[in-house]
Structures are given as C-alpha cells and as structure tokens.
Amino acid sequence: MSKASLLRARMAERGLVHIMAAHSPLSAILAEEAGFDGLWASGFELSALYGLPDMSLTSMTQHLDMLRAIAGCSSLPIVADIDTGYGNAINVIHAIREYERAGAAAVVIEDKTFPKVTSLVAGGRQELVTIEEFQGKIAAAVASRQDPALLVIARTEALIAGLGEAEALKRAQAYVAAGADMILIHSKKKDPSEIESFARGWTGAVPLVVVPNAYPELDAERIRALGTIRMVIYGNYAIRAAVTAMQQAFRRIVADGGVQSVHKDMVPVEEIFRLQGMDRIKADEKRFLR
C-alpha cells in the first residue's frame, strides 16, 4: 500500500486523522513516536528553521530536500505544504511530479498570489488569484499525479483575506469541481467561530481539513461534532515547541553562568543516541566492519 493509500485508509477507518508539523527528520521521528497519523511538511516551519519569514523565500528544492530526509526516517504519510504551487499551473505540474517522487502522500495548494505572505501575520498582504486560475492549478495537479491515491488538497484563504464565508464556500465548491480531494479552510480569528460556521454550511462532496493554530480550543471532540472534517493539521507546533525549549534553556545557561542547573531538566545524551539509531549502527559495525 502506498503512503497516499495509507492516509486515505486511516481517514476512512478513524474518521479524523491528526497530522503534526515537522521541519526536520528528528521532529518527524518524535511525532511518529508520539502517535500522530501523519506529518505536515510545513513551509512555515522550514522558513523558520532557516531564520526567514514565510514569504516564498525558501525554494522548492530546499523543501523537497527536507521532505526526502523526513520520508527516509519515518513510516508516516506526509502532507506537503507547497504554498501556491511555486507559480502557475505549469509550475504545479512540475511540483506534483517532484513531490510525489520525494514521498508525499498529499499536497496542499493555496489560492494566494505568488509570492505569498504567511496567513496569520498581522497586516499581511493577503491577495488571492481568480477562481478560474486556481481551478486550473487544481486540475493540473490532479492530471499530473502518478498515484491516483495522492490527495490534492485545495486551500482557500478567503477567510484569511477577509472576503467572508460566502466567498469561501463559493471558492471551495469551484475547487471541488476542478478535482480537489479535500478542502483546507483557514481562519485567523482567535476563536473557531468562522471555521465552525463554514463547516456547518459545507455541502460539498469532499471532506474538510482544518489547522487550529489561531483557535486552539477547537479540539478533536468539537471537530468530530461538525461532521464534515476528516483531517486536522497542527501547523506550527513543532517549531514553537523547539523555540520555547531552546529559549528557556539558553537563558538559564546565561543566567547561571553554566549548565550546572539546566542539564538535569534535559533528556540525557543517551536519548539522542537512541533517536539517532546508534544501537543499529553499532550492530552493523559488529556485523560488517572487517
């Protein structure tokens, strides 16, 4: 079974799948050990890892390299965040082929103009392409996939752009007509009211995806109650967790003048060895080194 087929099977079996963001092979390993259903190859997190804003500044090559590295160390299906598809519909054709070869089980394409600005930043430029242009991108993605199970997820930023629910529903229905397998609906409100209202009003033939970054109280119980959502992506929590831990540790080391206090609150180096697979390497050394 392909990873794309596995992801579809998990949604069918469980009703709702939980996808954790990853920006490195190590974060992917930790997400798999924690029990998530899949990984989100996040453009935002990769940009942050490079110390750059999420504004189409990292390249497709950089993102693909990280996705390949993640796919090589995790058995989980990967949902690839490919932003606007790196250009027009022709760029999308190339991107789909590359991401599928790299190991993606799903791709998410958003209806913003290129270059995009991250959705949740205050005062960000949130411009959308026409419905017809984005339908062409979705149709190109569907026509280009080799595995028919690869999920093409259309993300509408109509709520982010302040265009309202009616426009968001109109766009989502049009994207389904173009062949989208799922619709990702996003909001920057601090409560889930926009998302819940959209989900209740959704009558489309495909399920929804949500990313509860700005409205964390939208938990699995509330999501399931809406009846139209099959995937939840925790879109920036890996990088935020990493930054939180590093900021706290680094500040304590500076304040204490050393690591004499902070070291006891960290995992031992042996845990890093375990995550690196050192036992396997040692066994291979014993078996094969002459």
Active site residue: 37, 54, 83, 111, which one? 54
Asked whether the beta carbons of 4 and 152 are under 8 A apart, the reply is: no
How far apart (Å, rounded) are the C-alpha atoms in residues 52 and 68?
A: 21
Which of 91, 38, 92, 98 has its CA nearest to residue 64?
98
CA 258 to chain CA centroid, Å, is: 37
Q: Is the peptide bond before 53 cis (omega within 30 degrees of 0)?
A: no
What's the maximum distance between 2 C-alpha atoms anywhere in the chain?
69
Is 265 assigned a catalytic role?
A: no
Asked whether the beta carbons of 164 and 133 are under 8 A apart, the reply is: no
Q: Which helix (H) or strand (E) holds 83?
A: none
CA atoms within 13 A on the CB side of 219: 2
Torsion of the alpha carbons at 70, 75, 76 and 77, rounded to the nearest 10:
80
How far apart (Å, rounded) are the C-alpha atoms in residues 275 and 264?
A: 19
CA atoms within 13 A on the CB side of 65: 6
Tell me which residues are annotated as active site: 54
